[in-house]
Structure 1
Amino acid sequence: MNKFFSILVIAGVPLSVIGSLFHWSAIIMFIVYCLTIIALASFIGRATESLAIVMGPRIGGLLNATFGNAVELIISIFSLKAGLIGIVLASLTGSVLGNLLLVAGLSFFVGGLKFKRQSFDIYEARHNSGLLIFAVIVAFVIPEVFTNTMNDQETMMLSVGVSIILILLYLAALLFKFVTHRGVYQNIDDTNKEHDETPEWGKVRAMLVLALATVAVAYVSEHLVDTFDVVGEAFGWSELFIGIIIVAIVGNAAEHASAVIMAYKNKMDVAVEIAVGSTLQVAMFVLPLLVLLSLFFPTTMPLVFTWPELISMVTAVLLMIMLSNDGDSNWFDGLVLLAAYVIMGIGFYYV
C-alpha cells in the first residue's frame, strides 16, 4: 500500500502542477487533486506515527493537527483576501464538524471493527471537553446573541475581543498540557506504551516529510478550490455545501487519514488527539487569527455564524463529549458520530 501511495504522489504532484498551468478540465483536475491529497495524507500519517512513537502521542497528535490546519489556514487566507467571508466561515464550521463527527467517527468505527473495545486517556478527554464547551458554546454562541443589538462596528470590536481571549486561552492550554502539568494526569498503563515500538523514520526525517507533504498539500488544495465552481455546478452542490462539506474534507484530508490509521493500530490517544486537538486548534487559534488578519483586508470578518452552523457545531460538541468522556470507544460510538455527520450533510445540501 505504501508503494502504491508513493507512485501516486510521484505521478500526482507533477500532474497537478502541469494541469494547473495548462488549465486542464476542471472535473479531471478535481479527481487528480483529490487522489494526490489522499496519497500525500498517507505520508503525513506515517510521519505522525513515527513522531508519536519518538515524542509521545500528545506531541505527535498536536504536530499532525498543526500541519493539517496549516493547509486550511492558507486556503482561508486566500479566500479572505478575495472577500469570500461566507466560504471561510462555512469551511471552518465544516472543519469542526468534520473533525468531531467524521474523523472521530471513522476512527472509532474502524478501530472498533478490529478491537472490541478501545481506550484513551480519560483525563485528556475531560480536559478537552471543557475547552470544547468554552470554544464553541461560550465563545461562538454568546457573541451571536449579543450582536443582535449591535451595529457592524460594535460587532467587529466584540469579535476582535473574543478572538484575542481565545488565542490567549489556547496558548495557556498548551502551556498547561506540555509544561506545567506534563505527565501529571496520566493513565497507569500509559508509561509503558510505545516503548517497544520502532519508528519507521527518525525524528528529523519524519518532521521533514511532514513539512514537505504539508507544503505539497497546500499547493494542491489551493488549486483544488478553483475547481469547486465548475464541479459544484456539474453536481448541483451549493456554495454553503461546498464550504462546509467539500472544502473541510479536502482541507483536513491528512488528519482524517492519520487518525483512522492510528485507530486501526489501536493508538487511540493519538487518534483522539488529532480529532479533538485539531478542532480546538481551529476554534481557538485558526478562526480567531483569521478574524484578526481580516482587519488588514478590505472586507473584515466578524465572528458571527448562521444559526444552522452554530446549532450543528453545538450538537457535534455535546455528542462528542457524551461519547468520549469515559475514555472508551467502540464501533457503535463511531457509527453514531458518522450518522450525525450524514444528517447534517444532507441538511446543508438543501439549505
Structure 2
Amino acid sequence: MMNRIFLIMLIIGVPLSVIGGLLHFPTILMFIIYCLTIVALASFMGRATESLTLVVGPRVGGLLNATFGNAVELIISIFSLKAGLIGVVLASLTGSVIGNLLLVGGLSFFIGGLKFKVQKFNVFDARHNSGLLMFAIIVAFVIPEMFSQNLTETKTMTLSVGIAIILILLYIAALLFKLVTHRGVYTKDADENVVTEEPEWSKGKAILILALATLVVAYISEKLVHTFETVGEQMGWTELFIGVIIVAIVGNAAEHASAVLMAFKNKMDVAVEIAVGSTLQVAMFVAPLLVLISLFFSQSMPLVFTVPEIIAMVTAVLLNIVISNDGESNWFEGATLVAAYLIMGIGFYLL
C-alpha cells in the first residue's frame, strides 16, 4: 500500500517539479512538491538498499543504506554551500546527527518495541560505535568551537581543514576495522551473507534504481535550495530551523523509512547500523568533506557550530550511548529518544 502511494507521488512529483520550475509556480507550493518528491525517491532508495542488504549482509547493507541516504543530504548541502547558505549547511548537519540518533533510532526502538517486548542487537558494535560517536561529536566538533574564540578566521579555517582530514582518515580506518581486519571477530556472522528471505529486486536492478534516484534527487535538491530563503520569510522560519529540522528530515528520509522497517521486522542490527552508522558517516565523512569542498567556493565553511547546536548534538550522543550500550531496546527507550528530539525541535523553532 505505502509503496503504491510513494510510486504515485513519484509519478506526479517529478513532472510537477520540472514544470513548476519552468512556469514559476508559487514558491511555497514548489517547496512542498520538492520535499514530497524527495521523500518518495528516498523510499525507493530504501527499498533498493533493503534488497542489497539481503544479499551482502546487515553491516554492509546498513552502510550502503546510510551512504545513499546521506548522498541526498550531501547533494543538498553542496548546492547550499554554492548559494552561500553556510548556516543552513551547519544546521542540517546538526539536524542529521540529532535526527538519526534520536528520531530515527527512537522510532526504530519504539515501533519495533510495540511488536517485540525486547529487541537485541550486537553489543560489541554498539560499544564500538559509542567510542566513535564520542570522538566525532564531542572531540572533533566541540574543539573547533572552543579554539575559534581565540583564533582569527584564517586560523579557524586552517584548524577546521586539519580536523576534517583527520576525521576522514579515521572514518576510512573504522570501515577497514569493521569490514576487513576485524570482520567476524566480535560477532557470530558466519551466516551473515545467507539470504533468509527473497530480495524484492535483483542486485543489478537495486543498484540501477539507487543510481537513477540519486541523479533525480540531485536535480530536485538544487531547486529546493533556492526556495529556502522565500519559504523562511513567509513561514517565519529561521535559517537554523530550516537546516536542523526541514533539510535534515527530507535529506535523511531514506534512512528514516528503512531503519523503522528493519526494526519492525526485528532486524535490529541493520536498524541500529543505519541510525548510528549514518550519524558517524555524517560526522566523520560528510561534514569534513563539505569543509574541504567549501574551499572551492567564494565562502568557505569552518567546522564551527553554534552553542545550541553543539549542546543538542552532545546531548543526543550521550543519551543514545546510555540507552543503546547494553545491546537491548524496548518501546519505552524509543519513546524517550523521540521525546528528546521533540524538545530540541521546539527549542530550535523558537530560537
Q: Same fold, TM exceeding 0.5?
A: yes
Question: How far 1:281 sits from its partner (Å)?
Answer: 0.7
Deviations 1:20-67 (Å, cap 9, x if unpaired)?
221112222222223222222221121111111100011111111111
Question: How far 1:187 sits from its partner (Å)?
Answer: 4.2
8 Å Cα contact 2:142-2:310 kept in structure 1 = yes
Letter in structure 2 aligned against 1:282:
V
- Aligned residue for 2:141, secondary structure, equals helix
- Map 1:188-203; keep pairs closer than 5 Å: 191=191, 195-203=195-203
Per the alignment, residue 160 of structure 1 pairs with 161
8 Å Cα contact 2:79-2:225 kept in structure 1 = no
Question: How far 1:8 sits from its partner (Å)?
Answer: 2.1
Question: How far 1:124 sits from its partner (Å)?
Answer: 0.8
**Distance between the aligned counterparts of 1:142 and 1:248, measured in 2?**
23
Letter in structure 1 aligned against 2:53:
A
Question: How far 1:305 sits from its partner (Å)?
Answer: 0.9
Per the alignment, residue 291 of structure 2 pairs with 291
8 Å Cα contact 1:68-1:254 kept in structure 2 = yes
- Map 1:308-319; keep pairs closer than 5 Å: 308-319=308-319
TM-score, length-scaled by structure 1: 0.95
Per the alignment, residue 174 of structure 1 pairs with 175
8 Å Cα contact 2:53-2:61 kept in structure 1 = yes
Question: How far 1:334 sits from its partner (Å)?
Answer: 1.0
**Distance between the aligned counterparts of 2:81 and 2:183, measured in 1?**
37
Question: How far 1:193 sits from its partner (Å)?
Answer: 8.3
Letter in structure 2 aligned against 1:320:
N
Deviations 1:269-298 (Å, cap 9, x if unpaired)?
111111111111110011111111222222
8 Å Cα contact 2:122-2:269 kept in structure 1 = yes
Does 2:214 align with 1:214? yes
User: Structure 2, unaligned stretches of length 5 or more?
Assistant: none
8 Å Cα contact 1:45-1:261 kept in structure 2 = no
8 Å Cα contact 1:69-1:252 kept in structure 2 = yes
Letter in structure 2 aligned against 1:49:
E
- Aligned residue for 1:191, secondary structure, equals coil
- Aligned residue for 2:149, secondary structure, equals helix
- Aligned residue for 1:149, secondary structure, equals coil
**Distance between the aligned counterparts of 2:81 and 2:114, measured in 1?**
41
Question: How far 1:248 sits from its partner (Å)?
Answer: 0.9
**Distance between the aligned counterparts of 2:192 and 2:304, measured in 1?**
45
Per the alignment, residue 152 of structure 2 pairs with 151
8 Å Cα contact 1:221-1:251 kept in structure 2 = no
Question: How far 1:225 sits from its partner (Å)?
Answer: 2.6
Cα 1:110–1:222 shift into 2, 3 Å: farther
Per the alignment, residue 66 of structure 1 pairs with 67
Does 2:303 align with 1:303? yes
Per the alignment, residue 241 of structure 1 pairs with 241
Question: How far 1:147 sits from its partner (Å)?
Answer: 2.0
- Aligned residue for 1:201, secondary structure, equals coil
Per the alignment, residue 330 of structure 1 pairs with 330
Cα 1:194–1:320 shift into 2, 3 Å: farther
Per the alignment, residue 278 of structure 1 pairs with 278
Per the alignment, residue 347 of structure 2 pairs with 347
Per the alignment, residue 41 of structure 1 pairs with 42
> 134-143 or 7-16: which moved more?
7-16
Deviations 1:216-237 (Å, cap 9, x if unpaired)?
2232233223223333333321
8 Å Cα contact 1:62-1:273 kept in structure 2 = yes
**Distance between the aligned counterparts of 1:192 and 1:157, measured in 2?**
43
**Distance between the aligned counterparts of 2:227 and 2:160, measured in 1?**
32
Per the alignment, residue 102 of structure 1 pairs with 103
Question: How far 1:214 sits from its partner (Å)?
Answer: 2.2
Question: How far 1:194 sits from its partner (Å)?
Answer: 5.8
Per the alignment, residue 122 of structure 1 pairs with 123
Letter in structure 1 aligned against 2:237:
W
The alignment of Structure 1 onto Structure 2 pairs a total of residues equal to 350
**Distance between the aligned counterparts of 1:187 and 1:338, measured in 2?**
31
**Distance between the aligned counterparts of 1:182 and 1:283, measured in 2?**
23
Per the alignment, residue 20 of structure 1 pairs with 21
**Distance between the aligned counterparts of 2:36 and 2:147, measured in 1?**
44
Question: How far 1:177 sits from its partner (Å)?
Answer: 1.0
TM-score, length-scaled by structure 2: 0.95
